[in-house]
Structure 1
């Protein structure tokens, strides 16, 4: 081991204003060596530079979470760096609205691969590295659709529900071995570039404090990681105070 730092892996890092970047910054603030993974090299490089500019430790690794070989290589690189694995967050959450009769097989498969298959691949590799040390936290970012399926988000909801089931099974199997598996239901739109560009009317409608702040989610994820094993949370829901439920 190079030094006493431990590693955090955040899969699903995009723009600096997004949740993945907020998680990476939060973990880096706690002194962890953060490995950030995503599809876009430029966005990853920008987040890496930002973290390093504030004294944190970050390394960007371009990774497609739906490709088994790339996920395996990601975790092999983390292990080769010599930092014991402390936290892994799976934050990939692709969503494409489409009425059922307009949902192609390709779209259905793509959303399942991004939201569920990737979670399985990342979770499995994380567990492989955490079980021998009998500790570690594995976080999955869920959505309202994880619990309630509504049109035109049928494909997205089925994928997110599958991710939730995956997280439950992992928690039951590996909790007794010291691995804290958490599924976080983000019940509301996350404030950031994606919401503003894709759903500008919704953002305007929600108004002040109507969206979930990425930094607030990141604070909660860190608090969950710090829980004592005698009082672990498996599932939590987070929403703005004005969001109906």
Structure 2
């Protein structure tokens, strides 16, 4: 079985985001970029399944600028076999990404797609679900455990009330949650080997998908500064403030 793993290039999660002065978006100048953390977890899970002989090949794919080769090479260093980059400048909406992944999954004859539950830049949490609908495949979201058994997958999902275990038939789309695994660090020898692994570039036109945006971002603003807390001398004073100032009692 072949596993397809979509990955996205985003601002590194350790970087403090800065909004442009005109409010048109996030300032990416000189910002450190890296693989979306949830996608990194998805790559790790796919590689583990391959190491357990549950899969024959792991193919990673990204939709983005030429610089996205960096995150693809990282995935290859982690153990993926091949990479595909669909070149696209600017913001590509989740539906367009899902349509591209649909075409790639069909061309690669993948039996399983594992991707992060969401990207940390836009937090859309839509691509996996849209891809499942476009392909007509089973889906399991927010996975914290994946077990493959024959022509089905048993997935433990994280839900508000705890954990839910479901079984889906393959082929399927699975979105990875934070506690699915701990991604490995790529060793220097594997980083060197990754430079020689195949990385194919395509365009959206070659794939046959129109990526023209359907939504316009009107304005981006930083969250309001949180007010400082105050210390109160007694419970009665707290109750008084909750009644008069907060108006919650």
Higher RCO (C-alpha under 8 Å, 6+ residues apart): 2
TM-score (norm 1): 0.39
TM-score (norm 2): 0.38
- The higher radius of gyration belongs to 2
The structure with the largest strand share of the pair is 2
